[in-house]
Protein backbone atom coordinates (compact mmCIF):
# COMPACT_ATOMS: atom_id res chain seq x y z
CA UNK A 1 0.00 0.00 0.00
CA UNK A 2 2.89 2.34 0.79
CA UNK A 3 4.63 1.53 -2.50
CA UNK A 4 1.42 2.29 -4.41
CA UNK A 5 0.88 5.58 -2.58
CA UNK A 6 -2.29 4.38 -0.87
CA UNK A 7 -0.73 4.49 2.60
CA UNK A 8 1.88 6.75 4.17
CA UNK A 9 3.28 4.51 6.91
CA UNK A 10 3.64 0.85 7.76
CA UNK A 11 3.94 -0.65 11.22
CA UNK A 12 4.16 -4.26 12.25
CA UNK A 13 1.08 -5.48 14.11
CA UNK A 14 3.01 -5.74 17.39
CA UNK A 15 3.59 -1.95 17.23
CA UNK A 16 -0.03 -0.96 16.60
CA UNK A 17 -0.85 -0.50 20.28
CA UNK A 18 2.08 1.92 20.58
CA UNK A 19 0.93 3.82 17.48
CA UNK A 20 -2.60 3.99 18.83
CA UNK A 21 -1.39 5.20 22.22
CA UNK A 22 0.88 7.84 20.66
CA UNK A 23 -1.82 9.21 18.35
CA UNK A 24 -4.38 9.29 21.17
CA UNK A 25 -2.08 11.61 23.12
CA UNK A 26 -1.71 14.11 20.29
CA UNK A 27 -3.60 17.38 20.63
CA UNK A 28 -2.80 18.76 17.21
CA UNK A 29 -3.91 18.48 13.63
CA UNK A 30 -0.49 19.54 12.31
CA UNK A 31 0.35 16.99 9.59
CA UNK A 32 4.09 17.16 10.30
CA UNK A 33 3.58 16.26 13.97
CA UNK A 34 1.28 13.39 13.04
CA UNK A 35 3.77 12.22 10.38
CA UNK A 36 6.70 12.23 12.80
CA UNK A 37 4.61 10.38 15.40
CA UNK A 38 3.73 7.68 12.89
CA UNK A 39 7.32 7.52 11.68
CA UNK A 40 8.49 6.73 15.25
CA UNK A 41 6.85 3.32 15.00
CA UNK A 42 7.23 2.81 11.27
CA UNK A 43 8.79 -0.35 9.89
CA UNK A 44 10.46 -0.88 6.54
CA UNK A 45 9.06 -3.61 4.37
CA UNK A 46 10.27 -4.73 0.98
CA UNK A 47 7.86 -6.26 -1.52
CA UNK A 48 8.58 -9.86 -2.45
CA UNK A 49 9.01 -11.06 -6.01
CA UNK A 50 5.28 -11.74 -6.49
CA UNK A 51 4.24 -8.25 -5.38
CA UNK A 52 2.10 -6.11 -7.66
CA UNK A 53 4.71 -3.37 -7.26
CA UNK A 54 6.95 -5.26 -9.68
CA UNK A 55 4.17 -5.32 -12.27
CA UNK A 56 3.10 -1.68 -12.21
CA UNK A 57 4.66 -0.80 -15.56
CA UNK A 58 2.76 -3.58 -17.34
CA UNK A 59 -0.45 -2.84 -15.43
CA UNK A 60 -0.23 0.85 -16.33
CA UNK A 61 0.55 -0.05 -19.94
CA UNK A 62 -2.51 -2.30 -20.21
CA UNK A 63 -5.07 -0.43 -18.12
CA UNK A 64 -4.28 3.09 -19.29
CA UNK A 65 -6.16 2.54 -22.55
CA UNK A 66 -9.38 4.43 -23.20
CA UNK A 67 -11.74 1.53 -23.86
CA UNK A 68 -12.36 -1.90 -22.36
CA UNK A 69 -11.70 -3.43 -25.78
CA UNK A 70 -8.25 -1.80 -25.91
CA UNK A 71 -7.51 -2.95 -22.36
CA UNK A 72 -8.45 -6.54 -23.24
CA UNK A 73 -6.30 -6.40 -26.40
CA UNK A 74 -3.34 -5.07 -24.43
CA UNK A 75 -3.74 -7.78 -21.78
CA UNK A 76 -3.95 -10.46 -24.47
CA UNK A 77 -0.73 -9.17 -26.01
CA UNK A 78 1.04 -9.06 -22.65
CA UNK A 79 -0.27 -12.51 -21.66
CA UNK A 80 1.16 -13.96 -24.87
CA UNK A 81 4.53 -12.28 -24.34
CA UNK A 82 4.98 -12.62 -20.59
CA UNK A 83 3.27 -15.92 -19.88
CA UNK A 84 2.55 -14.75 -16.31
CA UNK A 85 -0.34 -16.13 -14.32
CA UNK A 86 -1.61 -12.76 -13.04
CA UNK A 87 -2.01 -11.46 -16.59
CA UNK A 88 -3.88 -14.56 -17.74
CA UNK A 89 -6.08 -14.47 -14.64
CA UNK A 90 -6.91 -10.76 -15.12
CA UNK A 91 -7.87 -11.44 -18.71
CA UNK A 92 -10.01 -14.42 -17.69
CA UNK A 93 -11.85 -12.32 -15.08
CA UNK A 94 -12.55 -9.54 -17.57
CA UNK A 95 -13.92 -12.01 -20.10
CA UNK A 96 -16.21 -13.56 -17.47
CA UNK A 97 -17.70 -10.23 -16.43
CA UNK A 98 -20.75 -8.48 -17.82
CA UNK A 99 -19.69 -6.47 -20.88
CA UNK A 100 -22.03 -3.65 -19.88
CA UNK A 101 -20.73 -3.63 -16.29
CA UNK A 102 -17.15 -3.47 -17.55
CA UNK A 103 -17.86 -0.37 -19.61
CA UNK A 104 -19.86 1.25 -16.83
CA UNK A 105 -17.08 0.50 -14.32
CA UNK A 106 -14.34 1.90 -16.55
CA UNK A 107 -16.27 5.10 -17.09
CA UNK A 108 -16.98 5.41 -13.37
CA UNK A 109 -13.32 4.97 -12.48
CA UNK A 110 -12.24 7.51 -15.07
CA UNK A 111 -14.84 10.07 -13.97
CA UNK A 112 -14.05 9.52 -10.31
CA UNK A 113 -10.48 10.74 -10.77
CA UNK A 114 -11.73 14.30 -11.16
CA UNK A 115 -14.59 14.30 -8.68
CA UNK A 116 -14.88 15.15 -5.02
CA UNK A 117 -15.86 12.45 -2.55
CA UNK A 118 -19.42 13.82 -2.47
CA UNK A 119 -19.64 13.69 -6.27
CA UNK A 120 -18.27 10.13 -6.29
CA UNK A 121 -20.82 9.00 -3.72
CA UNK A 122 -23.68 10.53 -5.73
CA UNK A 123 -22.39 8.88 -8.92
CA UNK A 124 -22.01 5.49 -7.21
CA UNK A 125 -25.50 5.76 -5.70
CA UNK A 126 -27.03 6.53 -9.10
CA UNK A 127 -25.17 3.66 -10.71
CA UNK A 128 -26.27 1.26 -7.98
CA UNK A 129 -29.92 2.27 -8.17
CA UNK A 130 -29.90 2.16 -11.97
CA UNK A 131 -28.10 -1.20 -11.91
CA UNK A 132 -30.93 -2.84 -10.00
CA UNK A 133 -33.76 -0.93 -11.70
CA UNK A 134 -36.15 -2.55 -14.15
CA UNK A 135 -34.48 -1.69 -17.46
CA UNK A 136 -31.02 -2.76 -16.30
CA UNK A 137 -31.41 -5.41 -13.65
CA UNK A 138 -30.95 -8.36 -16.03
CA UNK A 139 -27.16 -8.49 -15.65
CA UNK A 140 -27.34 -8.11 -11.88
CA UNK A 141 -29.88 -10.94 -11.58
CA UNK A 142 -28.01 -13.08 -14.10
CA UNK A 143 -24.73 -12.65 -12.24
CA UNK A 144 -26.37 -13.65 -8.96
CA UNK A 145 -28.05 -16.61 -10.64
CA UNK A 146 -24.86 -17.89 -12.28
CA UNK A 147 -22.59 -17.41 -9.27
CA UNK A 148 -24.82 -17.95 -6.22
CA UNK A 149 -28.07 -19.71 -7.16
CA UNK A 150 -27.37 -22.25 -9.90
CA UNK A 151 -23.60 -21.97 -9.46
CA UNK A 152 -23.08 -22.87 -13.10
CA UNK A 153 -20.72 -19.90 -13.60
CA UNK A 154 -22.23 -19.44 -17.06
CA UNK A 155 -24.07 -16.11 -17.07
CA UNK A 156 -25.93 -15.04 -20.18
CA UNK A 157 -25.15 -11.34 -20.33
CA UNK A 158 -27.31 -8.84 -22.18
CA UNK A 159 -25.69 -7.58 -24.31
CA UNK A 160 -23.48 -10.66 -24.69
CA UNK A 161 -20.27 -8.97 -25.89
CA UNK A 162 -18.43 -5.67 -25.59
CA UNK A 163 -19.09 -4.68 -29.19
CA UNK A 164 -22.84 -4.69 -28.54
CA UNK A 165 -22.68 -2.25 -25.61
CA UNK A 166 -23.72 1.18 -26.84
CA UNK A 167 -22.72 4.52 -25.36
CA UNK A 168 -26.41 5.14 -24.60
CA UNK A 169 -26.53 2.00 -22.48
CA UNK A 170 -23.55 3.18 -20.46
CA UNK A 171 -24.95 6.72 -20.19
CA UNK A 172 -28.18 5.39 -18.73
CA UNK A 173 -26.36 4.09 -15.66
CA UNK A 174 -25.23 7.62 -14.87
CA UNK A 175 -28.62 9.29 -15.40
Are the CB atoms for 154 and 146 separated by under 8 Å?
Answer: yes
pLDDT bracket for residue 53 (50, 70, 90): confident
pLDDT 10s digits, 73-93: 999 999 999 888 889 999 999
Q: Is the pLDDT of residue 68 over 90?
A: yes
pLDDT bracket for residue 6 (50, 70, 90): confident
* CA separation for the pair 158, 167 (Å, rounded): 14
pLDDT bracket for residue 136 (50, 70, 90): confident
pLDDT bracket for residue 44 (50, 70, 90): confident
* CA separation for the pair 174, 172 (Å, rounded): 5
Q: What is the pLDDT of residue 104?
A: 96
Domain map of the chain by residue range?
2-40, 52-96, 99-174
Q: What is the pTM of this model?
A: 0.78
Amino acid sequence: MVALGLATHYSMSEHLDLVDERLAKLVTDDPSVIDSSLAQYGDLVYPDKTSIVHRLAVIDKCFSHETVEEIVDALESEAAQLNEEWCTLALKRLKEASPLALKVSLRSIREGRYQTLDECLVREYRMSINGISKPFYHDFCEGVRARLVDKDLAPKWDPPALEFVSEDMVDSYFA
